[in-house]
Structure formats: structure tokens, C-alpha cells
Structure 1
Amino acid sequence: MSAAQDRRYLALALSLGRRGQGRTWPNPAVGCVIVNDGRIVGRGWTAPGGRPHAEPQALAQAGDAARGATAYVSLEPCAHHGKTPPCSQALIDAGIARVVAPLEDTDPRVSGQGFAQLRAAGIEVTTGLLADQAEADHAGFFIRTEQGRPFVTLKLANSFDGRIATATGDSQWITGPVARRAVHAMRMRNDAVMVGAGTARGDDPSLTVRDMGVDHQPVRVVVSRRLDLPLSGLLARTAKDVPVWLCHGADADDMLQQTWDGLGAELIRCDVTGGHLDPRSVLQGLGAAGLTRVFCEGGGALAASLLAADLVDELVGFSAGVVIGAEGTPAIGAMGLARLVEAPRFELIETRDLGGDVLHRWRRSGG
């Protein structure tokens, strides 16, 4: 294969893998393309729940045509026996001649061993191609593996002057329908949507993906130290239909804990620091439960705590051409910064127009 062909087929494998984002946790969302004599003979991506993996699905589609073929995989094939056999062995048994993958898996159960097994079996292994894209696609899985927490995207939709509501709390709608639809698409690609208790009380949100034709929903996470949330709200009424996880402190009322448990919510006890739930403890709890990608939609206090603790990996802003004024509600709460050098910094990676609103995406500096 030429370098251009390798890039083309590996790019396809990466795009297939992204189809599984938000549905494969705690496993990575991997794509696989099998090519023999210039013809695609098999394709696959990680199934919902994380299994079966991409490689065996592509191999099953390829059948005998896999012998002597090249497999393009968006992450190093697994090499350990878990709930499914190793994908590296499946590739060997199928007679694959060459494997092209961008980078190693950071899971210590794999971490180079999959490539080593393939090479030991006489299979040519090519790595490094499209590594930056693969790093971005698998960032959630990597961060959970290395740090025990999910990748965090903080989304803010605000007025030109950084407000999310007027002084009376009126907030619907600051941005237009195109921007709101983009938010639903982003929710769909994450394992969970997270908000603070104030947002859950004030907005009574559903936090679901709507009008996208999906057959699954992200986990809905609310950070509430005391579990003082409306028991008649949308989240309470639908907790048995779409998962609701509540991060709370040890001092949450026992009766409220029992009530939410009875409603179908999953309770995650977290540490309290300075009178508030410790954001690092919250994310560690979510990571331990298997989440790899969390889409945080505020409010201001939760956003400030995550930023102050340096736990935001990506910022997504939707800015509207409306001005509310200083009496409006700020998008981000107090962070206690004395000097500008203490402020978290992000690097711009994308801007675009969305129906008259402006989308801007930023990644953690140096990330």
C-alpha cells in the first residue's frame, strides 16, 4: 500500500470508531477496516457497551478474504483475555499480513503487547500515522486509564458579555436553534451530561439528546452535595428510563438518599472540601464507574470549581449577539484569582458560525 492509501483507510477506521463515542464506555471507541488487494472486505467498530470489539466484527465480515490482507485499526489491538478474547490473536488466526494503527493503547494490560504479539507472529506492524487524530479521539479512554477520571468538556452558551440569564433568571433562549441542535449532537458523543444542583433546581432540565434519531441516551449526572433536588422534576420522573447519577456528600440526608435510590438514581458519594463537593473526587467517582467522556453544561459554580481545579480538558463556547449587562447571571462563578497568571489557559482549535451564533472550541494549553 502507498502512504496515501494507508492514510485513507486509517482515516476511515478512525471515522468508524467515532460512531461509537458515547456508547462504548468503559472501553475505547475503535474502528477497523480490512483491505485486500485494494478492496475493502471488512469494516467494524466497537459495539455499544464495549463489545464485541471492532476487529472481530470486521474479520467476521471479511471471512476468508482476511487472509493476506491489511487491517487498519484506530488503536493498538487488545492483547489480554477479558470478557472477549484478545483481538491481536484474532488477527493472527485470520491470517492478516499487515496491521496499521496510529498508536499504542495506554491500558497497562495492552500497552505495546498487542503490537509485540503481532510482530512475533510475523505480521508487519506500521504505527504513527494519524496519531494526533487518534490521540484526540481516544483522549477520554486515555485520561481514565492514566488519571482515573473522564475527559471533561465544559460547554457554555452565553451572551456577548458572558451572561447566561437576565437578573430575573430568564434564559430561554440566548442562542438559536442551530446552536442548540449542535449541543444535542455533542451530548450524543459523550458518555454523560453533567450539571450542578443549581441548574437542576432552576432549569428542571431533561439533559437528554433530542431530535437526533438516536436509540441511546447519555448518563445524566447532577453534582449535589445535599441531594436537595426537586423530587417532582424531570430527572426524578425519568430516572428509571434514562440513567441519573447523583454525586453527593456524606452529609446528604439519609431519607433523600433512600428516596432517590427508590426513584432509580445511582448515588455516588464524594469528598467535601471547603463546604463543597471536591471536583476531583467527583470525577474520580465517575471514572471508577466507567465514564470516559463527560459533557458539563454548568452552572456557574460547578464550572468555576472544575476550572479552578484544572480539570477541564476542552472548552466549548456558544456566543450569541445579545447583550444582557452586569446584572445578569455570569456564565462562570467566582474563582478567587488574584493574578492573571493564575488563570487557566486554553488554545483555540475551532471557530464557526452556527445560524448567527459563534461556536468556539478550546483545548487545554499543552494538551
Structure 2
Amino acid sequence: MTSEKNISGSMFEPILRAPPERPFIVAQLGQSLDGRIATVSGDSRWINGPFALDHLHLLRAHVDAVIVGIGTIIADDPQLTVRRVEGPQPVRVIIDPNGRLPASARCLGVGDKPCLIVTDRDRPAPSGAEMLIVKSSAQRLAPADIAEALFERGLKKILVEGGAATVSNFIAAEVVDRLHILVAPVILGSGIHGLSLPPIGKLSEALRPETSVHILDGGDVLFDCDLRHQRRG
């Protein structure tokens, strides 16, 4: 377990003070200086350093549920647990509308509660999981509907951890309260891009969230973006 001495508790205050009457969603993304989350081949371990991983595990410990898309499970096979820090384990949530989750996925065999598999149709759940059926619109599971379904189960504070497409979809749907971007001091020069949002025609249409910056040991820089409050100009 690595040290947490340089990770400020203030950045978790918005989660602790989250309004109880609606879902509170924080998203996170780790990337290189040139905005890549992986190489051309998909290799992404480890773009960010150990203190950035500590921060991610602290985020998990501050929420009720952590969401990833099925692509992240297939590519990285994460456990989605709190291991590097002290804290409660979040419920693991996997968006998998087409039943691609491997029975061997590591997230199915850890934690003290079953994984929730988000889909729009009933199907047998793999061992260690439970199906969460969410009605789809236009052949797509809407982020707002997923968040509301989790909220109705008592999972009020939600971390959207990946991948980039899932994080982008939640931001584009305007349901994300805070965005934590962890930028590593590395340049890939090519590879898979991070955020991808609908195109804009004017700079005046760009998101300009109020942002605080934290430098972590090892050189990673954390941008804590308040998407509910925008800068002017």
C-alpha cells in the first residue's frame, strides 16, 4: 500500500456533501500529456503512476458504485475493488447490453456484493453477478436511466471509471457532476484518444468547468473539474 500523504481530502468534499435527492456522479480518466489513454495496440498499463492509482482507489472508497463499460472489462480485466487504501468496497457495475461479459472476469470473484450487469433484456446472470435491466432508447442505454436505476437501489454516489467512450457518453448526457482527469508526464505520440464529445462549431460552446489542480508525487497532475459550474470567457 503506497502513501496517501499528498492526496488532498478537500477534493472528496463534493462527494461527501452530495445532494441526497438525486444521483451524484464523478467520472475519472487517466491519460498522457498528449491526451492518449492507450497505445495503438491498446496497452494502457501503466500510463499513470502509483499515486494516481491511490487516488483512483480513494475515489472508489468514497462512492456506492463504480461503473465501467464491457470494453474495459475485456481489455483490462479490472477487479474494481479498494485495495490500495482503506475504505468500503463499492458495488461493481458493468454496462453490457449484448452479453459479452466473460465468466472468467476477475470482478465477478471479488467484493462482498454481486456485480450488477446493466442490460436492456433479461438473461441468465453469471456466477457472482445480478442483472439490472434498464429500458433502452434508440438501441442505446441512456446514462441518465442507468444512474436513476442505481439510485433507486440506494446507490446514490457513482463513479464512472471507464473506458473513455463510457466516460464521454456520461459527460455528453450532462449527468456528470465532477470530472477527475489524471495526466501523466508521458507522451505517446499516437494511440487511443481520451474524451470524445459531440463536435462544436464555436469556442463559446466549449465546456469551461471551474477547475482545481493538484500535483501528485511522481509527476501526475490531477485536474478536478466541476462540471456543474462553468467559467465565463
Shorter chain as denominator, the TM-score bin is 0.7 to 0.9
Match of 1:224 among 96, 99, 103: 96
Point out which structure has higher relative CO (alpha carbons under 8 A, 6+ apart): 2
CA distance in 1, matches of 2:137, 2:167: 16
Q: Structure 1 residue 159 and structure 2 residue 32: aligned?
A: yes
Q: Structure 1 residue 354 and structure 2 residue 229: aligned?
A: no
CA distance in 1, matches of 2:95, 2:72: 10
1:1-367 map, 5 Å: 137-141=16-20, 145=21, 148=22, 150-214=23-87, 216-238=88-110, 241-250=112-121, 254=122, 257-260=123-126, 263-325=127-189, 327-333=190-196, 335-340=197-202, 341-366=204-229
Matched residue type, 1:282: I
Q: Is the 8 Å Cα contact of residues 140 and 293 (structure 1) preserved in structure 2?
A: no
Residues 341-350 or 282-291, more deviating:
341-350
Distance 1:321 1:232, change over 3 A: same
CA distance in 2, matches of 1:152, 1:343: 20
Distance 1:281 1:362, change over 3 A: same
Q: Is the 8 Å Cα contact of residues 81 and 110 (structure 2) preserved in structure 1?
A: no
CA distance in 1, matches of 2:195, 2:137: 19
Matched residue type, 1:137: L
Structure 2 gaps of 5+ residues are 1-8
Distance 1:364 1:259, change over 3 A: closer
CA distance in 2, matches of 1:179, 1:161: 17
Q: Is the 8 Å Cα contact of residues 179 and 357 (structure 1) preserved in structure 2?
A: yes
Normalising by structure 1, we get a TM-score of: 0.55
Q: Is the 8 Å Cα contact of residues 178 and 228 (structure 2) preserved in structure 1?
A: no
Matched residue type, 1:309: A
CA distance in 1, matches of 2:124, 2:15: 40
Higher helix proportion, which one?
Answer: 1
Q: Is the 8 Å Cα contact of residues 308 and 344 (structure 1) preserved in structure 2?
A: no
Following superposition, the deviation at residue 167 of structure 1 comes to 0.3
Q: Is the 8 Å Cα contact of residues 125 and 131 (structure 2) preserved in structure 1?
A: no
Normalising by structure 2, we get a TM-score of: 0.85
Matched residue type, 1:264: G
In structure 2, the partner of 1:42 is: none
Q: Is the 8 Å Cα contact of residues 157 and 164 (structure 1) preserved in structure 2?
A: yes
CA distance in 1, matches of 2:205, 2:141: 22
Distance 1:154 1:223, change over 3 A: same
Higher Rg of the two aligned structures: 1
Following superposition, the deviation at residue 207 of structure 1 comes to 0.4
Following superposition, the deviation at residue 357 of structure 1 comes to 0.8
RMSD: 2.3
Counting matched residue pairs gives: 220
CA distance in 1, matches of 2:16, 2:42: 37
Following superposition, the deviation at residue 236 of structure 1 comes to 2.6
**Which secondary structure state, in structure 2, belongs to the residue aligned with residue 259 of structure 1?**
coil
Matched residue type, 1:179: A
CA distance in 2, matches of 1:188, 1:328: 30
In structure 1, the partner of 2:6 is: none
